[in-house]
């Protein structure tokens, strides 16, 4: 098993490459969700500001 993990002396390079790949893959999967939340929050804020400007004050 340790021979497999060592991969002929290149284990550090190989496993760190896998780690970087999966980290980038996770970021790539989660980034659109974060962007969607930011856009929706911005649109809600714009809508609230627009409503507060158009509502008459008693």
Number of domains in the chain: 1
Instruction: Name the pTM for this structure.
Output: 0.64
- The answer to whether position 3 is within a domain reads no
Q: Give the pLDDT confidence of 2-58 residue by residue, as tens digits.
A: 888 889 889 999 999 999 999 999 999 999 999 999 999 999 999 999 998 886 666
Per-residue confidence (pLDDT) for residue 58, from 0 to 100: 62
- The answer to whether position 18 is within a domain reads no
User: 28 is in which domain, residue-wise?
Assistant: 24-58
Q: Length of the chain, please?
A: 58
- The answer to whether position 16 is within a domain reads no
- The answer to whether position 1 is within a domain reads no
- The answer to whether position 28 is within a domain reads yes
Q: Are 41 and 49 in contact (CB under 8 A)?
A: no
């Amino acid at each position: 098993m340790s021979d497999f993990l060592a991969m002929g002396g290149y284990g550090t390079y190989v496993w760190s490459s896998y780690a970087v790949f999966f980290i980038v893959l996770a970021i790539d999967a989660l980034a659109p969700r974060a962007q969607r939340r930011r856009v929706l929050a911005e649109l809600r804020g714009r809508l609230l500001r627009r409503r507060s400007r158009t509502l008459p004050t008693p």
